[in-house]
Amino acid sequence: MKFLKKTLKNGLRVVTVPMKDNPTVTVLVLVEAGSKYETKRINGISHFLEHMCFKGTLKRPKPIDIAKEFDALGSESNAFTSQEYTGYFAKSDAKHFKQILDIVSDVYLNSTFPEAEIEKEKGVVIDEINMYADMLPRHVQDLIGELLYGDQPAGWKITGEKKNITAMSRADFVQYKKEHYVPKATTIVVAGHVTEKEVLKEINKIFGNIKNTKKFSKVKVKEVQSKPKVLLKFKKTDQAHFVLAVRTFDMFHKSNPTLEVLAGVLGSGMSSRLFQRVREELGVGYYVRAYSDSATDHGFLQISAGVDEKRIKEVLEAVLEECRKLKTYEVSAEELNKTKEYLIGNMKLSLESSDDIALFYGGQELLKKKIISPEERALQIRKVKASDIQKLANEIFKDEKLNLALIGPYKSDKDFEKVLKF
């Protein structure tokens, strides 16, 4: 799929993805401002600020003003925050491109952070934190981050702690936005029934004269581990939820395609090894999956599952055994080809709409400063050999890289430490 890139004089990057046969258009603004850019005192502010950007602007003073305009266009709109970036987007009929660009850019550039709205939204964010804590498959993801990276930004929750949220002031939002919402940290993606000419014309009108200011960097992640580690959270529940993770490498590493296929062999699809072993053979657990999670300066391979709390050790031993098999035996040609086709097919299915396309291209440009097309990514996956997978398995499946985060009715870490051996 064709895409075009342009950098404005102030450093802001624009990616246009024309889709002539798609009747919609998506405008996505991405900024390098996530939990990794925060200090301990204001951990959670990236996510909270994302909420506040919809609470009033200079042009649209009230939240209802923004909501009414989006609704009148029949558009979808939302925002999201991760460790490394925040995104604001809207999707509509392509004829409304100028209007949704105007609203999204207004939200991004001109939010006023009314103090009354901040105080109201604190309750909403705290409710969101409570909700995620009760969603155990989600909460265990926070725990594995804490276990892997400890008390540094990569180990903190994106939503922050409730005490932080309560203490945040309008001045905190104004200062954080001033420091991080700058042209050099921003990428705008427009995907859909548009041309590069009309995209650049409109974006230059809105963003072209914004002053180029210093781009703040994040603290580099420190990797420290010498033996298997366990983080256990006690909770009375019939189903235990765990993440088994090994440290790997960042998103720039040449072995990422191999890692993706390795994870696919283990836990992508109903015919994957872990699904067959845990659900079909052992008859325990509703979900089990494996995938690689890579960021700009760190990464890990994770296996997650929810299983009968009484059979947790049995499942962990089975999962580790499947990992060990990849170290000892090459994947068959049939299984390798099946996994590749599954991964490529799923990638294509995930890129059917203009908003998915926008994030696919924009995320790469923002973080990597380089875009690999779906076709190029498919080619990288097809080139992975069975010997590559076996070699990589021997590199990453080591005791000193192994971590277990677990939620369930258990009281002792020691019982699980004994299981953690490759």
Instruction: Specify the pLDDT at position 17.
Output: 97
Contact between residue 260 and residue 381 where contact means Cβ atoms under 8 Å apart = yes
- In terms of phi and psi (left: phi > 0; alpha: psi -120 to 50; beta: otherwise), the region of 113 is left
The DSSP-derived string for 183-233 is GGGEEEEEEES--HHHHHHHHHHHHTTS---PPPPPPPPP---SS-EEEEE
Compute the residue count for the chain: 422
Which tokens go with 363?
Answer: 């995320």
Query: Hey, how many other C-beta atoms are within 10 angstroms of the C-beta on 370?
Result: 9
Contact between residue 326 and residue 389 where contact means Cβ atoms under 8 Å apart = yes
Encode the chain (422 residues) as per-residue pLDDT tens digits.
799 999 999 999 999 999 999 999 999 999 999 999 999 999 999 999 999 999 999 999 999 999 999 999 999 999 999 999 999 999 999 999 999 999 999 999 999 999 999 999 999 999 999 999 999 999 999 999 999 999 999 999 999 999 999 999 999 999 999 999 999 999 999 999 999 999 999 999 999 999 988 999 998 999 999 999 999 999 999 999 999 999 999 999 999 999 999 999 999 999 999 999 999 999 998 899 999 999 999 999 999 999 999 999 999 999 999 999 999 999 999 999 999 999 999 999 999 999 999 999 999 999 999 999 999 999 999 999 999 999 999 999 999 999 999 999 999 988 899 999 99
Can you list the domains of the chain with their CATH numbers?
A: 4-207 (3.30.830.10), 229-355+369-417 (3.30.830.10)
H-helix or E-strand containing 302?
strand 299-308
- 317 has catalytic annotation: no
pTM, full prediction: 0.95
C-alpha 90/C-alpha 107 separation (Å) is 11
Instruction: Specify the pLDDT at position 46.
Output: 98
SS3 call for 26 = strand
Of 32, 38, 50, 365, the active-site residue reads: 50
Which tokens go with 409?
Answer: 């009715």
C-alpha 290/C-alpha 273 separation (Å) is 10
Which tokens go with 303?
Answer: 């296996």
| Dihedral sign computed on CA atoms, order 35, 38, 43, 49 | negative
C-alpha 366/C-alpha 187 separation (Å) is 6
Contacts of 372 (CB under 8 A, 6+ apart): 364, 380
156 burial class (0-12, 13-18, 19+ CB within 10 angstroms)?
buried
Instruction: Specify the pLDDT at position 127.
Output: 98
Instruction: Specify the pLDDT at position 415.
Output: 86
Contacts of 410 (CB under 8 A, 6+ apart): 232, 234, 240, 309, 312, 416
Instruction: Specify the pLDDT at position 286.
Output: 87
Contact between residue 238 and residue 309 where contact means Cβ atoms under 8 Å apart = yes
